[in-house]
Structures are given as C-alpha cells and as structure tokens.
Amino acid sequence: MRVTLTFDNGPDVEGTPMVLSALAERGIPAVFFVVGQKADAHPELLAAASSAGHLIGNHTWSHSRPLGAAIEPGFAGAEIGRTQRAIGPYAEDPPLFRPVGAAPGAVIDDRLLDDEALNVLEAGGYTMALWNVVPHDWERPDDWSDGVLEQCKRLEHAVVVLHDGYPAGMGLLPDLLDALVSEGADFRTDFPRSCTPIVAGVAGSAVGPLVTPRAASR
Ligand SMILES: [Zn+2]
C-alpha cells in the first residue's frame, strides 16, 4: 500500500506543529503544499518542515479561487510566482505545485487552471500534483478519518489530501497514522503518474480537461 500524505493550506502556527510532531513520532515523510501569504509570514514553519525531511510545494498565494476562475490577466502568474519566492530555499527541484480545488470541495475539473497558469507551470518546470483521496477533514473535523484506510488499500498509490491549515481536524491524524503503519503502508513523497498531469514542466494529454479555455475565461 503506497501512501503519499499531503498537508495543504498552511503553514499554521497551531496545525503545522501538530502534524510535524505526529509525523516525527512515527518517522513518516510527507509533502506540505503551502499558501504563499502564510508561508511568507511563517518561514520558521517551512524551515521546521523542511529540516524534518518533508517536501514543500506551492499552493497559490491567496488560495482565494481556482486559477481557472481567474478574472484578470496576471492573476495566475502572480499567485504561483509570489508563492515560489516565499518558499525560497525550501523549494523542490523540479518545483511542486498543487492547484486550488474547485467547489464544492477539491473537485478536479477544468476550473483548476487557465491558459496563463498552464504557461507559467510549463515555463517554470513545475510538477503539478493532484490527489485521489479527499477525506474532507476541513468540513468534518471530528469524523473525517472514517474509511480513509480502506480507500488507501483500494488504490495502487494513494495521495491523501489533509490540511494542517485547518488544525481542528488534525486531532484525528495520530490514530490514522497508527492504522496505516499497522497495515504496513509504504509512506512516500512521490506521486503516481495518474496524479501528475504536468511533470517538470511537460504537460501530458491529461492536462487538457483541467484548463478553462481562453474564450470561456476571458
Ligand atoms: Zn487548498
């Protein structure tokens, strides 16, 4: 059972340390997809995650809307570029990017990117990392972990989206980690091809359905 755990929408002064200590106690690596304006405010949390061996990825500057729903030219470029500058020395090579999911909650469709975002990701050599397990921890902080283990077991390589940016849900994390450990999970920080429509700036055919056509977005 391959499992890549990802923690989004941080860093957060409460949630990120909770997650880091739960991971450290069990020797589990993970990927943190940070919101640029939060990363800019808390570089010490990026440093803590990075020095513990976790990867840091870009999850837009403001997390205000999916990039395919951008209403003005320049929005996508700024959202990605400013965040990458905030990540600075903790960036991966190639850099990792995770788009903001579409409503009603981490939906993967043509609202994820617009043409400008795609161009920026290609030119910047980004790898774009999607997901295949969404426990909705931000909506159901007290019972989101039900069924996550079973979902992971059904997948060849699970990519689980959780949120250190919403600390209320992270109280359930230690028990989920223990359950995964006892099932012999192979914890990783890479992503299956099915979750990476762009690899090091090279967009595969799977990226087309993720991009709002120019005529529709302008
Ligand atoms: Zn997010």
Domain of 170, CATH number, reads 3.20.20.370
Task: State the DSSP H helix or E strand holding residue 19, giving kind and residue range, or none if neither.
Answer: helix 15-26
DSSP-assigned states of every residue in 39-74: HHH-HHHHHHHHHTT-EEEE--SS--S-GGG--STT
| DSSP, res 102 | B
* Enclosing domain of residue 105: 2-217
Task: State the DSSP H helix or E strand holding residue 9, giving kind and residue range, or none if neither.
Answer: strand 2-10
pLDDT confidence of residue 218? 43
Cα–ligand 1 centroid distance for 33 (angstroms): 8
Q: Count of CB atoms within 10 A of residue 47's CB?
A: 14
CA angle 88, 93, 99 (to 5 degrees): 75
- Tell me the C-alpha distance between 214 and 216, whole Å: 5
pLDDT confidence of residue 25? 98
Cα–ligand 1 centroid distance for 143 (angstroms): 19
Contact assessment for residue 159 and residue 108, using Cβ atoms and an 8 Å cutoff = no
- List per-residue pLDDT tens for the chain, 218 residues long: 999 999 999 999 999 999 999 999 999 999 999 999 999 999 999 999 999 999 999 999 999 999 998 678 899 999 999 999 999 999 999 999 999 998 888 999 999 999 999 999 999 999 999 999 999 999 999 999 999 999 999 999 999 999 999 999 999 999 999 999 999 999 999 999 999 999 999 999 999 999 987 654 44
Distance separating the N- and C-terminal Cα atoms of the chain? 43
Cα–ligand 1 centroid distance for 1 (angstroms): 25
What the block records as the tokens of 158 is: 């699970």
Where does 62-126 have alpha helices with state H? 75-87, 115-123
Catalytic residues: 8, 163
Residues 6+ apart with CB under 8 A from 204: 197, 198
- Tell me the C-alpha distance between 37 and 30, whole Å: 21
What is the count of structural domains for the chain?
1
pLDDT confidence of residue 215? 55
- Tell me the C-alpha distance between 54 and 104, whole Å: 29
- Tell me the C-alpha distance between 185 and 2, whole Å: 6
Contact assessment for residue 187 and residue 29, using Cβ atoms and an 8 Å cutoff = yes
Q: Which residue has the tokens 């513990």?
A: 52
Cα–ligand 1 centroid distance for 10 (angstroms): 9
